[in-house]
Structure 1
């Protein structure tokens, strides 16, 4: 029987079984092997902060400036379309000019002074405005021009405004040139007055014809009455009636003659032009600088609104703040894209430095909480999903004795981690997998990094569902000090949560432009329910040339601790 300080190894009938001693647990809450007990649903707060770059308000303000930068293509396309539309409209609208003329409208009637109303009251300006825009007036105005214009086109360019207090009309005409506008306005004014006078004279002729007809009938009645009076005997009733008819016919003739004379003496003045059109101005301000500047600003505002609308529909994380907000944990590092093992393949690059920054943030908090098992929930895709292995390398370079379990990758080459060297399968570490195995440490293979041993792949579902995985992890903490559980590769959500059951803390890593914020939030909620605190988060960005890794506001506090536990640079690489 093999006895260790924190566990007891018992061999029975060729099977290896691990049992563990841990701190007392609350009723109904079994202790987790290899880590201090913690009550469920109340995870420890290992670190505080939001995004790690500034306070929440400053980050929120900066996000508004980052949206146009991320969506610059939408901003550029919409802005160019808007500016092109403004310039095009300005070109079309600036070719139109407008001139105006004012016409005084006089009342026309057979007896304008018997109504008891003023001349302005006798004119219905609204009706006159409709008359000025009639097709008859447009045809007459077109004939006045040289060459003759198109009546419908000219009618479309006419605007008539009726005055509210005086009997006057303002006729405004828009033409393709200044001269066209002036000629068109004056032509409409002349055509309107001539048409109004022609209508009045037509009415006069109709009234004269009616008077002449009535006058002829009255003369016939007078002749008939005189003949009847001559034929009747004096003093008889027939003579009296004939005399009365003669008098009535005579008075009718006199009245109709007077009416005819009045109609013939009428002088028609349909109106006068108070102000002729002499010059034309642009029909709109579309061609002016104010319009162009305003249109460009409106196009820019529209482009920004389109960018924000598109960004609001995109659920992918775009910054470390998005990841931090989704998992409700501080941002520890922004990791540029690079090789699978950046600390080995490019130790001076940004990616390698970002993992050192991440290590400097994590290790003091893990030591204070006495946590030896760390879950790295990596939601990135492809070769970017090697954050767990890279972090294990960083920890091993500063703290000897690290075990890396990566069940999501079948071998180092599949994960882009060939620089680590060959590693064994996780299944070979389980009880009974190797005859005569007394401890996982006996079969866990070393890597190219001193102090780091790793195991890959295996039957993940049976491995995590067997109940031996937690015991394996706890045994490794006694031999290797720290255990990094790399939940990346092809692992499902349930398999990641099964691994989380053996971890004392977790780090969640997302990828810019690919990882969905709801997936990160759901994972953080599940980890919280399992009682596994999320110590922090990271985001994998794109590779940058030169420079150093982007640090967070934890750097100042974490740097002394990192220097204390860091080996000389020559031995770390």
Structure 2
């Protein structure tokens, strides 16, 4: 239902599976609405008339008693004057209520009328293709954004080199590509040597979420051997004084990194930073290292 602004018109519509049923439903609702208004108005009017009739009956009884009381009092006495005044007041009240009662009896109940009969619609009101397409697009974008946000916050895997400092707070020492050239290991070795300083050191290479740590450790050790007396080891029992974490992209989580850092800290080993490596390295790289 709807009421247009600045009008006393009530618009009624009805939803059904076919036009004929929709028109019949709207017409039936309008007829039932008018019958209900008529019945409600008639009940209200009857209740008001009943209340007036009860009050008139009471006043008539009081007026009759007042008349009998006046007849028993002597003329000119003060008591008769008071009784006559009371009788006059009761008479005016009876007259006023009688007028109201008669006015209510003449009221005609008009609940309203149907201005135009319902007609079957020429076109369905739903589904609205533009509305559905727009809503679906908006909800899809909203769901996609929510899923991406949840994945970014709940998935703690290191997916790219840029995730290292954001998820682990460790410095990124190098990002080893799938086919790394010797220059990448020379730059990594130079940075590690500068962090360790002068003197003999044992550098532990810790593999996390990857199976490519062996070739990387060997190539890093070869590059370091030309720069400083630094031995690269892969066993924590060799008493290293520093460590580098090898993080397999899309396999290592920030929780694993935090646990490794705490474990090494308890052993007195300083973690210099992290090196990201792809999940797998080409077999040619492994073969070259094994035959070199």
Per the normalisation by structure 1, the TM-score is 0.34
Measured after TM superposition, the shift of residue 510 of structure 1 is 1.6
**Alpha-carbon distance in 2 for matches of 1:258, 1:510:** 99
**Alpha-carbon distance in 2 for matches of 1:252, 1:327:** 97
1:510 aligns with 2:251: no
**Alpha-carbon distance in 2 for matches of 1:486, 1:197:** 98
Q: 1:366 to 1:324 in 2, by over 3 A?
A: same
**Alpha-carbon distance in 1 for matches of 2:24, 2:182:** 83
Measured after TM superposition, the shift of residue 545 of structure 1 is 9.9
Equivalence for 1:333: 176
Residue from 16, 19, 25 that aligns with 1:176 = 16
**Alpha-carbon distance in 2 for matches of 1:357, 1:273:** 90
**Alpha-carbon distance in 2 for matches of 1:251, 1:367:** 117
Q: 1:484 to 1:265 in 2, by over 3 A?
A: same
Residue from 240, 245, 256 that aligns with 1:499 = 240
Kept after mapping to 2: 8 A contact 1:378/1:386: no
**Alpha-carbon distance in 2 for matches of 1:375, 1:273:** 93
**Alpha-carbon distance in 2 for matches of 1:271, 1:383:** 85
1:541 aligns with 2:282: no
**Alpha-carbon distance in 2 for matches of 1:213, 1:365:** 107
Kept after mapping to 1: 8 A contact 2:212/2:279: no
Kept after mapping to 1: 8 A contact 2:251/2:279: no
**Alpha-carbon distance in 1 for matches of 2:157, 2:217:** 24
Per the normalisation by structure 2, the TM-score is 0.58
Q: Which has the higher helix share?
A: 2
- Equivalent position SS for 1:302: helix
**Alpha-carbon distance in 1 for matches of 2:104, 2:162:** 92
- Cα deviation 1:267-326 (Å, max 9, x = unaligned): 332334456654668677x64333333333323332332333233233332222334664
CA RMSD of aligned residues (A): 5.7
Q: 1:181 to 1:508 in 2, by over 3 A?
A: same
Equivalence for 1:377: 205
- Cα deviation 1:438-457 (Å, max 9, x = unaligned): xxxxxxxxxxxxxxxxxxxx
Equivalence for 2:233: 487
5+ long unaligned stretches in structure 1:
1-99, 103-160, 336-349, 403-476, 549-568
Residue correspondence of structure 1 range 275-424 to structure 2 within 5 A: 277-278=118-119, 287-323=128-164, 326-335=169-178, 350=179, 354=180, 356-362=182-188, 375=203, 377-380=205-208, 383-391=211-219, 395=223
Q: How many residues align?
A: 265
**Alpha-carbon distance in 1 for matches of 2:92, 2:221:** 130
**Alpha-carbon distance in 1 for matches of 2:276, 2:94:** 113
Kept after mapping to 2: 8 A contact 1:316/1:516: yes
Structure 1 stretch displaced more, 289-298 or 512-521: 512-521
Measured after TM superposition, the shift of residue 366 of structure 1 is 8.4
**Alpha-carbon distance in 2 for matches of 1:531, 1:213:** 101
Structure 1 stretch displaced more, 297-306 or 272-281: 272-281
Residue correspondence of structure 1 range 432-447 to structure 2 within 5 A: none
5+ long unaligned stretches in structure 2:
none
1:195 aligns with 2:36: yes
Name which structure has the greater RCO, CA cutoff 8 Å, separation 6+: 1
Kept after mapping to 2: 8 A contact 1:373/1:484: yes
